[in-house]
Amino acid sequence: MQLVNTAEKETPMQWSLLEDFDPLVRYDTLDELGKLEPATLAQHAVAVVARLEDSVDEVRKQALKTLGKLEPTTLVQHADAVLAMLEDCPVRYWALDTLSKLEPATLAQYAGALLTKLEASDSRVRSAALETLARLEPATLAEHANAVLARLQ
């Protein structure tokens, strides 16, 4: 599936594919959206965020991966929706990966939620949480050092 990348050729039908009954079509549409330039993708970010509520894990994962291709200044507008996905076990690794794209100063406000994922049963989630926390400014990371160490023991 190839989506058109120019505004004058876009049709509402192309974006309605995000609502298609077939999860593979929704997945493929998100994949194609992720190939757009970040500025063009930003125009469709709300529709991508809506797919975070999809009933299919793989579609939610692809929505997170697509959001991760936004510029940090655009991604921050949707950070709360991504943060909520930390509670969605099948996709929390991808939520952490997407949050890691935020600027360190912005990421700092989510440090508490990131710390809780150091106790996840999935080692990939724990590693991703640690890697995301490592992106914090040194002073901010130092504020949370004791909590990080306590959770790693």
DSSP 58-95: HHHHHHHHHHTTS-HHHHGGGHHHHHHGGG-GGGHHHH
How many residues belong to the chain?
Answer: 153
- Least Cα distance to 122 among 82, 90, 146, 83 occurs for 90
Band of pLDDT at residue 1, cut at 50, 70 and 90: low
pTM of the model: 0.88
Question: Residues 93-124: pLDDT tens digits?
Answer: 999 999 999 999 999 999 999 999 999 999 99
Contact between 46 and 15 (Cβ < 8 Å): no
Band of pLDDT at residue 71, cut at 50, 70 and 90: very high
Contact between 48 and 64 (Cβ < 8 Å): no
